[in-house]
């Protein structure tokens, strides 16, 4: 048995196949990774912005508390309007750098004394550390009426805000710029670094996935290329080709089915060759006899008697029967062995033919028995074709049963269908030959002469007829010691 290898002419085709696999896997991997990276980065950016907003709100609440205390000392926000830079120190440290509240407005009599310190200095125990990067570029202070006081300009009332209040008294509003409106800074640098790291990780994973895709594409395309090469060899007439694919997946099953198909084609080719030789031999024999008899009669070696004419007619009939059998098989092969099926009571139908079979069996020196149930057994049959099949089986039993012998016909029905069975007494057929009995031109006993053995096509015709009746026929050992031919037909409901 030869092993199929990819032919040189199939190289381009196989390259295109594995390249398609590779590009498909690569595209899916790239799109999948990009989608995962984009989704992860978007989720991280949203989470990081939410974290910044929460942290700024906590810090703003601390600054708002300090500003509320200082507002109560001054009574208004004019001290911040006159010195906007002072608000930046509040934003950075939560209080002026010296830890004291800013002085009140100058009234021309000199600077008033500074107010007392408010709370612990920034970074002390129990207080969060200052965030120097935020500064006054992110916050804006508005008074109770919404008028701008200090800090970042342009923040409307829709921005995140923290009230500057003491109890139920509201002195103003501290507005916070959203994270996505912030200028480029440490936070934006951090986000960009996360993008870079994410893309770098995606690139590494993509390279590994491309290498795996390449290996997988080659692994998938290699058995397909071998199957293609074996199929081309099979199409060219080399039926010995087999696809050697050592796999246990779908491709391995495909290769196994291909090998079964190749074996079946090789077996059928050998059967056709043998059948052609056997047909030629079967046709040659009666033709040779006819030619020899006619030549003897022409030369006067054999007188033209009634026996000589009967011999010629017998060989002509044998040749005609063989041609008719071949014609019937050709119809069956072409699916044109038509049967006009009609509902028949097989019990009554078989009893009508029992007398003819009884006389033929007695002429051969055998005893004929038939067993049918009392109630009707209905089946759809073509009377002419079905009678041809049963007569063929009956004549085979008469010819090949030792005299005196017994031939038995049984009919019964069950849930599986209608059963018609022929049995005969010894001799039987070797079990190894039973599956071959329906092969064309097969003879179980090669020593039988053609006068009793026929052409070897009868059982093949029987099988074709029963198959046209949507039934099956099987050969098995008989309980009487000979051969059993079992026919099973579909059951049907009695017609009304």
Backbone angles phi, psi at 7, to 5 degrees: -75, 160
Biggest CA–CA distance in the chain, Å, is 172
Write the pLDDT tens digit of every residue in 358-406.
999 999 999 999 999 989 999 999 998 898 889 889 988 998 899 999 9
* Alpha carbons 256 and 254: distance in angstroms, whole number: 5
Residue 305 structural domain = 268-333
- For the chain, the residue count is 496
Q: Which residue has the tokens 């923290």?
A: 162
* pLDDT reported for residue 157: 67
253 part of a folded domain: no
**Does residue 189 share a domain with residue 142?**
yes
466 part of a folded domain: yes
Q: Which of 172, 179, 236, 167 is nearest to 57 (CA)?
A: 179
Is-contact 239 272, C-beta < 8 A? no
* pLDDT reported for residue 406: 94
* Alpha carbons 66 and 61: distance in angstroms, whole number: 9
**Does residue 358 share a domain with residue 324?**
no
Q: Where is the domain boundary, 281, 311, 333?
A: 333
22 part of a folded domain: yes
**Does residue 92 share a domain with residue 20?**
yes
CATH of the domain at 291: 1.10.287.130
**Does residue 177 share a domain with residue 218?**
yes
Instruction: Average the pLDDT over each of 151-155, 165-169, 275-279 and give the range with the smallest value.
Output: 275-279
Show Cβ contacts of residue 117 under 8 Å, excluding neighbours closer than 6 positions. 95, 99, 100, 101
Show Cβ contacts of residue 165 under 8 Å, excluding neighbours closer than 6 positions. 64, 68, 171
Show Cβ contacts of residue 396 under 8 Å, excluding neighbours closer than 6 positions. 454, 458, 459
pLDDT band at 115 (very low <50, low <70, confident <90, very high): very low
**Which residue did the predictor score with more confidence, 260 or 406?**
406
Domains: count for the chain? 3
* pLDDT reported for residue 123: 36
Mean pLDDT of 112-122: 37
**Strand ranges inside 308-376, DSSP E:** 342-345, 366-371
Q: Which of 193, 279, 221, 284 is nearest to 6 (CA)?
A: 221
**Does residue 304 share a domain with residue 183?**
no
> What is the SS3 assignment for 3?
strand
**Does residue 392 share a domain with residue 305?**
no
Mean pLDDT of 193-216: 80
**Does residue 464 share a domain with residue 354?**
yes
**Does residue 163 share a domain with residue 59?**
yes
* pLDDT reported for residue 116: 35
Backbone angles phi, psi at 320, to 5 degrees: -65, -40
Q: Tokens for 484? A: 């059993």
**Does residue 72 share a domain with residue 185?**
yes
259 part of a folded domain: no
pLDDT band at 484 (very low <50, low <70, confident <90, very high): very high
pLDDT at residue 131 is higher than 70: no
SS percent in the chain: helix, strand, coil, step 5: 55, 15, 30
**Does residue 450 share a domain with residue 317?**
no
Query: How many whole angstroms from its chain centre is CA 116?
Result: 83
426 part of a folded domain: yes
Record the pTM: 0.48
Q: Which residue has the tokens 């129990």?
A: 126
| Beta bridge partner(s), residue 421 | 410, 486
105 part of a folded domain: no
* Angle at 313 (CA atoms; ends 308, 315), nearest 5 degrees: 95
116 part of a folded domain: no
pLDDT at residue 166 is higher than 50: yes
**Does residue 18 share a domain with residue 151?**
yes
């Amino acid at each position: 048995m030869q092993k199929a290898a990819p032919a040189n002419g199939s190289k381009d085709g196989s390259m295109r196949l594995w390249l398609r696999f590779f590009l498909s896997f690569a595209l899916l991997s790239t799109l999948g990774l990009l989608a995962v990276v984009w989704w992860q980065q978007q989720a991280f950016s949203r989470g990081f912005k939410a974290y910044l907003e929460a942290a700024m709100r906590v810090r703003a609440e601390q600054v708002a508390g300090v500003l509320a205390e200082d507002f109560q000392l001054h009574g208004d926000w004019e001290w911040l309007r006159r010195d906007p830079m002072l608000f930046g120190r509040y934003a950075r440290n939560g209080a002026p750098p010296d830890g004291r509240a800013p002085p009140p407005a100058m009234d021309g009599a000199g600077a008033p004394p500074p107010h007392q310190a408010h709370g612990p200095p920034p970074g002390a125990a129990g207080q969060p550390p200052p965030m120097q990067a935020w500064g006054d570029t992110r916050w804006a202070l508005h008074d109770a009426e919404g008028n701008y006081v200090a800090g970042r300009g342009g923040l409307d009332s829709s921005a995140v805000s923290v009230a500057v209040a003491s109890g139920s008294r509201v002195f103003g509003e501290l507005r916070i710029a959203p994270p996505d409106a912030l200028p480029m800074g440490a936070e934006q640098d951090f986000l960009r670094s996360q993008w870079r790291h994410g893309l770098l990780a995606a690139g590494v994973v993509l390279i590994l996935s491309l290498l795996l895709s390449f290996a997988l594409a080659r692994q998938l395309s290699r058995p397909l290329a071998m199957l293609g090469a074996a199929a081309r060899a099979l199409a060219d007439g080399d039926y010995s080709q087999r696809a050697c694919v050592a796999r246990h997946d779908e491709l391995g099953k495909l290769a196994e089915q291909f090998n079964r198909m190749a074996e079946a084609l090789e077996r059928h080719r050998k059967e056709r060759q043998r059948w052609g030789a056997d047909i030629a031999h079967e046709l040659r024999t009666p033709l040779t006899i006819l030619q020899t008899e006619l030549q003897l009669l022409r030369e006067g070696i054999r007188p033209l008697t009634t026996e000589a004419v009967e011999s010629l007619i017998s060989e002509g009939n044998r040749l005609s029967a063989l041609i008719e059998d071949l014609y019937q098989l050709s119809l069956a092969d072409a699916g044109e062995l038509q049967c006009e099926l009609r509902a028949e009571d097989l019990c009554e139908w078989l009893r009508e033919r029992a007398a003819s079979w009884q006389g033929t069996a007695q002429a051969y020196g055998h005893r004929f028995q038939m067993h049918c149930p009392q109630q009707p057994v209905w089946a759809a049959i073509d009377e002419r074709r079905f009678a041809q099949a049963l007569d063929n089986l009956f004549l085979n039993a008469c010819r090949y049963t030792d005299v005196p012998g017994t031939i038995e016909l049984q009919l019964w029905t069950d849930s599986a269908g209608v059963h018609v069975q022929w049995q005969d007494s010894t001799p039987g057929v070797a079990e190894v030959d039973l599956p071959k009995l329906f092969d064309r031109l097969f003879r179980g006993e090669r020593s039988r002469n053609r006068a009793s053995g026929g052409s070897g096509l009868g059982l093949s015709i029987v099988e074709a007829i029963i198959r046209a009746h949507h039934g099956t026929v099987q050969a098995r050992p008989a309980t009487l010691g000979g051969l059993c031919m079992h026919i099973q037909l579909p059951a049907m409901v009695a017609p009304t």
